């Protein structure tokens, strides 16, 4: 059965979607079967992987009990995508009175998780019901920490949310690691972000560091993961190294 990994950070601009999309694309390039589910109402991952349109499938999965496997479409990069759109913003309000509302995504994954090596969940920039659904369905969580500045309270809230979900909803959930993104060694904020991440997450920090990269931003605007847009740029090489490190940690069960 494939491993299910959430990418979480309640702060916008942390590199969460860039990390989920880039990791998915590099894993697919290695021949692995990868499903990326977009859980963000802004549809960032959907647009980045080519703007596949199937009517905002994630909304139907969460509100109409559709199975996730039947809503996935293969993209140019080889990643299978469950897209999202603006209507997903209504989902949290519509689901609040549903029984077992925190477990809807886990149920929707069903047999689909068995068809993939990895299922990656790109969460919204909040710690609301959509993110809780993702964590309840996940084996692990990756936390991007931006080198542009990381607030201690926000990182501590993330760690506490994972702890609470593990305690009450998903005893198998773990933090895969924090990943430093948009890192510029010349900036004081980068060193501060690294120090805060180490203080809060200890050894659960990926050794790979993702630098600032204009080419990554350009790849998003062009609707192509960096594996297709510019696989030799600095950002692409960093995410390829991250994919290697991620696979090794996953194999070891760290």
Q: What is the dihedral of CA 141, 144, 150, 156, to 10 degrees?
A: 0
Q: Is the pLDDT of residue 131 over 90?
A: yes
Q: Is the pLDDT of residue 39 over 80?
A: yes
Q: In the numeric block, which tokens belong to residue 187?
A: 């900036």
Give me the domains of the chain, ranges plus CATH numbers.
3-252 (3.40.50.300)
Helix, strand or coil, per DSSP, at residue 93: helix
What is the pLDDT, as a whole number, of residue 221? 92
What is the pLDDT, as a whole number, of residue 132? 97
What is the pLDDT, as a whole number, of residue 53? 55
Number of neighbours of residue 32 by Cβ within 10 angstroms: 17
Q: Is the pLDDT of residue 177 over 90?
A: yes
What is the pLDDT, as a whole number, of residue 52? 57
Question: What is the pTM assigned to this prediction?
Answer: 0.95
Asked if 96 and 129 count as a contact pair (C-beta separation under 8 A), the reply is yes
Q: In the numeric block, which tokens belong to residue 130?
A: 């959509």
Measure the CA–CA gap between 26 and 250, rounded to whole angstroms. 15
């Amino acid at each position: 059965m494939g491993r299910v990994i959430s990418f979480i950070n309640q702060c916008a601009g942390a590199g969460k979607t860039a990390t989920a999309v880039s990791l998915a694309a590099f894993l697919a390039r290695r021949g692995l079967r990868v499903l990326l589910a977009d859980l963000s109402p802004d549809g960032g991952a959907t647009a980045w992987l080519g703007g596949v349109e199937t009517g905002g499938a994630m909304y139907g999965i969460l509100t109409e009990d559709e199975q996730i496997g039947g809503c996935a479409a293969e993209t140019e990069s080889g990643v299978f995508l469950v897209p999202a759109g603006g209507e997903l913003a209504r989902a949290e309000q519509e689901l609040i009175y549903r029984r077992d509302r925190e477990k809807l995504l886990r149920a929707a994954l069903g047999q689909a998780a068995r068809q993939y090596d990895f299922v990656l969940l790109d969460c919204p920039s909040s710690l609301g019901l959509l993110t809780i659904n993702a964590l309840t369905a996940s084996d692990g969580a990756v936390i991007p920490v931006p080198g542009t500045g990381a607030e201690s309270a926000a990182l501590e809230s993330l760690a506490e949310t994972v702890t609470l979900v593990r305690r009450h909803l998903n005893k198998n959930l773990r933090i895969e690691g924090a990943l430093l993104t948009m890192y510029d060694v010349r900036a004081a904020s980068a060193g501060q972000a690294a120090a805060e991440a180490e203080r809060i997450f200890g050894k659960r920090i990926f050794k790979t560091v993702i630098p600032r990269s204009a080419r990554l931003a350009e790849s998003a605007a062009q609707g192509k993961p960096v594996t297709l847009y510019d696989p030799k740029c600095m950002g692409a090489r960093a995410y390829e190294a991250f994919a290697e490190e991620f696979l090794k940690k996953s194999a070891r069960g760290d």
